[in-house]
Structure 1
Amino acid sequence: MADGDTPADIYADSFCRLPMPDRETMDDRSKAAYDRLADPNTQSRVGLQGPGTIQLHSNKVSEHSSGLNRYLRTEAGFDEDVLELAILVAAREMDSKFEWAAHEPAAIDAGVPAETIDVVRFKKPTDGLSETETLIIEFGRQLFRERRIDADRYAAARALFGDKRLVDFVILITQYSATALVLRAFDMQPKAGLDYNLPVEEV
């Protein structure tokens, strides 16, 4: 177990409430998933410390979840700035420091303006943002806060994305909200080297 200020039920090898999966006991597909997470040249932003490692304890969950994640991030056709802004909105609304820290650098690299990121980070009004940025942020805020999307906002999102990509967009933000809950349940600890600068009200 970990020491110091880390909770007593956290494993030192995985930084969460489950131990690091044993690669040698995995089937071939799970070994391949493990190796993708461990490879610094793959798409994983957090490697073996993150949701992917938790999911490896259930090989079918890992297989299907990683496949969906890969599709949404690399095959659905979202521009990188749209993709990363949507993920930040989900992270912000779920108060997910881990996801925010993992994806804020990616959003910056994708060209999301610092002012837009701060609107999301500090829950500011969207005045002055582009039409697309405003729609992504306000859509996410309404869905997570009110558990609904009003007719006008839905129509605007459908006009922007089209039917297929609108489905992909909604699945994207809800997938990352689900991941936030997984990280909470298993108490994933902060990853060294990431900047945890998302203000949240601790309970």
Structure 2
Amino acid sequence: MTDALDGTGDDAPRLPPAAGDGEIAERMRARRGGQLSTLDLLLLHSPPVAEGWNSLLGALRSSTLSGDLRELVVLRVAVLNDAAFEWAAHEPIGRRAGLSDAQLELLRRPDATGDLWSPVQSAVLAFTDASTRAVAVPEAVFAAVREHLDDRQVVELTATVAGYAMVSRFLVALEIPPPAGEVAG
């Protein structure tokens, strides 16, 4: 486990927060249940980017993937990209979606394979690792996902991996610390 994933880095992001006002900020608040995160306040420096981000992440959160699969992807991407904010924000969501303490611990390891995963979780995890680490997904890994997911779910899985890779890269590049109680994405 790295310092970044442990959240032991600096306490302030590389940029100051933008003002949290305007129509786009209100839409972001609505998606978040009323509160803007540090991530949101940095995105609001570019209203078009913030608006697109809000729409994309809202769509990913309402996909047909089950909650455990979605959070498995998000948390694994957080580990692979050392995104402490992403992990801190999504670990409680993952627990609520049914991921166990043992599964969460296993996700933090370089090789997260083991007998704790259902067949579909194992396939999704292999897909997430391949897509995040090498971008190209080997045919055998793709075929394993296809055994469990329909066309729409494969598209949503791929977009979720890519979307949360985007989130993690933004969080890490701007050194956004993982404050308690915030939700990434």
Q: Is this a same-fold pair by TM over 0.5? A: yes
TM-score (normalised: structure 1)? 0.75
Tell me the residue number matched to 2:27: 33
Tell me the residue number matched to 1:160: 148
**Structure number with bigger Rg:** 1
1:125 deviates by 4.6
Secondary structure in structure 1 of the residue aligned to 2:114: coil
* Residues 31 and 102 of structure 1, relative CA distance in 2, 3 Å threshold: closer
Whole-Å separation in 2 of the counterparts to 1:23 and 1:147: 35
Whole-Å separation in 1 of the counterparts to 2:13 and 2:124: 32
CA contact under 8 A between 1:23 and 1:34: conserved in structure 2? no
Tell me the residue number matched to 2:139: 151
Aligned residues between the structures: 174
1:103 deviates by 0.5
Secondary structure in structure 2 of the residue aligned to 1:160: coil
Q: Which amino acid aligns with 2:69?
A: V
1:88 deviates by 0.7
Q: Which amino acid aligns with 2:175?
A: D
Whole-Å separation in 2 of the counterparts to 1:148 and 1:35: 35
| Identity, % of aligned positions | 25
Secondary structure in structure 1 of the residue aligned to 2:148: helix
Asked whether 1:111 is paired with 2:108, we answer no
* 1:140-189 deviation line (CA, Å, top 9, x unaligned): 11222233211111112123222221111111111111111111222212
* Residues 109 and 65 of structure 1, relative CA distance in 2, 3 Å threshold: same
Whole-Å separation in 1 of the counterparts to 2:91 and 2:46: 28
Across the aligned residues of Structure 1 and Structure 2, the Cα RMSD in angstroms comes to 2.4
Greater relative contact order (Cα < 8 A, sep 6+): 2
Where do residues 49-198 of structure 1 align in structure 2 (5 Å cutoff)?
A: 49-74=37-62, 76-128=63-115, 129-192=117-180
Unaligned runs of 5+ in 1: 195-203
Q: Which amino acid aligns with 1:20?
A: P
Q: Which amino acid aligns with 1:77?
A: T
Whole-Å separation in 1 of the counterparts to 2:71 and 2:109: 17
TM-score (normalised: structure 2)? 0.82
* Residues 164 and 6 of structure 1, relative CA distance in 2, 3 Å threshold: closer
* Residues 137 and 35 of structure 1, relative CA distance in 2, 3 Å threshold: closer
